[in-house]
Structure 1
Amino acid sequence: MTNRKQKSPQQEANRLSIMLRHVPGEDRFPVDVEALAREVSRNNADPIGKIVGGELPGLEGMLRPHRKRPEWHIVYNDAPRYRGRVRFTIAHEFGHYQLQRPVLSDRNYKNGTL
């Protein structure tokens, strides 16, 4: 995995806010965080390929790399403790993707798996 300069959370939040202002109408709220994560990440060499619920005892969610190609998955606990938790968790993991992930490339998979 390759490293890159870490982004500022404030700069990234401002960038996404500007992008959301271009969405026509008031239907943009509440923000569809899953669609936002997919749309923003599709322009990267290592996009978010899957956002799925699963059984995660003791965890609310995770960002994990795909084992066979440069792609990321967001997995969230599909038994949330309260309403809104799934959206929060997807947004939180998307934040990790945007701000902290090591960028994946084909070089990371030269032997067929990460």
Structure 2
Amino acid sequence: MKKIYYLQTCDTCRRIMKELNLSGFEKQEIKTESITVKQLDEMKAIAGSYEALFSRKAKKYKEMGLKDEVLNEKDYQQYILSDYTFLKRPVVVDGNEIFIGNEKKNLERLALHLNQK
């Protein structure tokens, strides 16, 4: 599977998609097409945990007081499924490889991966 989960209104997602050659990847805009349980479970299987996919930068994370709670894997799963803002963006899946978020080292790893193909 070659897929990118992104947010169209996110300047960072748009910049990353423009800079990297993601032709051949199916694109899913997560605000208009919600992530399914199956899709999230597939991402978790590659990433190793729901926590790895969870964004602590989401405004709702602080608004809902989640930063003061101890969350478990089930909580991370439910929050990501309940609101697209809780998914770290973008998420790029290429077979058994997953690249989560926009941290510099992650984007460098993704660029290297794409250039090796």
TM-score (norm 1): 0.28
TM-score (norm 2): 0.27
Larger Rg: 1
Higher helix share: 2
